[in-house]
Amino acid sequence: MTEKKPLRVAVAGLGTVGGGVVKVLQKQADLLKSRCGRAIELVAVSSRSKGKRTDLDLSGISWIDNPIDLAHESNIDVIIETIGGDSGIALDLTRAALTSGKAVITANKAMLAKHGTGLAKLADQYETSLHFEASVAGGIPIVKRLREGLAANRLSHLYGILNGTCNYILTQMEKTGASFQDVLSKAQALGYAEVDPTLDVGGHDAAHKLSILAAVAFGMPIRYEGMYVEGITEITKEDIQFARELGYRIKLLGLAGVKDGSVDQRVHPCMISLNTPIADVGDVFNAVVVEGDFVGQSLLTGRGAGEGPTASAVVADLIDVARGIRLPVFGVPLSDLQELTPLDMGEHRGQYYIRLGLKDQSGAIASVTNILASHNISIQSMIQRGRSENESVPVVIVTHEAKEADIQKALKAIDTLPASLEKGNMIRIVHFC
Amino acid sequence: MTEKKPLRVAVAGLGTVGGGVVKVLQKQADLLKSRCGRAIELVAVSSRSKGKRTDLDLSGISWIDNPIDLAHESNIDVIIETIGGDSGIALDLTRAALTSGKAVITANKAMLAKHGTGLAKLADQYETSLHFEASVAGGIPIVKRLREGLAANRLSHLYGILNGTCNYILTQMEKTGASFQDVLSKAQALGYAEVDPTLDVGGHDAAHKLSILAAVAFGMPIRYEGMYVEGITEITKEDIQFARELGYRIKLLGLAGVKDGSVDQRVHPCMISLNTPIADVGDVFNAVVVEGDFVGQSLLTGRGAGEGPTASAVVADLIDVARGIRLPVFGVPLSDLQELTPLDMGEHRGQYYIRLGLKDQSGAIASVTNILASHNISIQSMIQRGRSENESVPVVIVTHEAKEADIQKALKAIDTLPASLEKGNMIRIVHFC
- What parts of chain A have a pLDDT lower than 70? 1-2
CB contact under 8 A, A141 and B145: yes
Q: How far is B217 from chain A (nearest CA, A)?
A: 12
CB contact under 8 A, A24 and B154: no
Residues A344-376: pLDDT tens digits? 999 999 999 999 999 988 889 999 999 999 999
Nearest Cβ partner for B308 among A31, A296, A318: A296
Report the pLDDT value the prediction gives residue A275, as an integer from 0 to 100.
87
In contact, A158 and A288? CB cutoff 8 Å: yes
CB contact under 8 A, A328 and B37: yes
> In whole angstroms, what is the distance from residue B152 CA to residue A31 CA?
8
Residues B148-205: pLDDT tens digits? 999 999 999 999 999 999 999 999 999 999 999 999 999 999 888 889 999 999 999 9
Confidence of residue B385 (pLDDT cuts 50, 70, 90): confident
Nearest Cβ partner for B292 among A154, A296, A312: A312
Burial of B382 per CB tally in 10 Å (0-12, 13-18, 19+): middle
> In whole angstroms, what is the distance from residue B321 CA to residue B300 CA?
24
CB contact under 8 A, B294 and A308: yes
Share of chain A above pLDDT 70, in %: 100
Confidence of residue B48 (pLDDT cuts 50, 70, 90): confident
| Nearest residue in A to B293, CA atom | A308
CB contact under 8 A, A150 and B332: no
- Residue B409 makes CB contacts below 8 A (sequence gap 6+) with B375
CB contact under 8 A, A303 and B319: no
In contact, B145 and B133? CB cutoff 8 Å: no
Q: Catalytic residue numbers of B?
A: 209
| Complex ipTM | 0.91
- Chain A contacts of B153, Cβ < 8 Å? 28, 312
CB contact under 8 A, B296 and A24: no
In contact, B317 and B325? CB cutoff 8 Å: no
Is B231 or B299 the better-scoring residue by pLDDT? B231
> In whole angstroms, what is the distance from residue A261 CA to residue B410 CA?
67
Report the pLDDT value the prediction gives residue A2, as an integer from 0 to 100.
58
CB contact under 8 A, A277 and B301: yes
Mean pLDDT of chain B: 94
Report the pLDDT value the prediction gives residue A159, as an integer from 0 to 100.
98
Q: What is the CA radius of gyration of chain B?
A: 24
| Nearest residue in B to A147, CA atom | B35
Residues B86-145: pLDDT tens digits? 999 999 999 999 999 999 999 999 999 999 999 999 999 999 999 999 999 888 889 999
Q: Which of A374, A372, A378 is nearest to A356 (CA)?
A: A372
Confidence of residue B1 (pLDDT cuts 50, 70, 90): very low
Apex CA B125: angle with CA B121 and CA B126, to 5°? 120
Burial of B194 per CB tally in 10 Å (0-12, 13-18, 19+): middle
- Chain B contacts of A333, Cβ < 8 Å? 34, 37
Residue to mutate among A148, A325, A334, with most B CBs inside 10 A, is A148
A186 tagged catalytic: no
Residues B293-350: pLDDT tens digits? 999 998 999 888 889 999 999 999 999 999 999 999 999 999 999 999 999 999 999 9
Report the pLDDT value the prediction gives residue A192, as an integer from 0 to 100.
83
- Chain A contacts of B31, Cβ < 8 Å? 154, 332
- Chain A contacts of B331, Cβ < 8 Å? 35
Report the pLDDT value the prediction gives residue A1, as an integer from 0 to 100.
47
Nearest Cβ partner for A149 among B31, B141, B298: B141
Apex CA A352: angle with CA A350 and CA A355, to 5°? 170
In contact, B128 and B222? CB cutoff 8 Å: no
Catalytic residue among A209, A259, A359, A403: A209
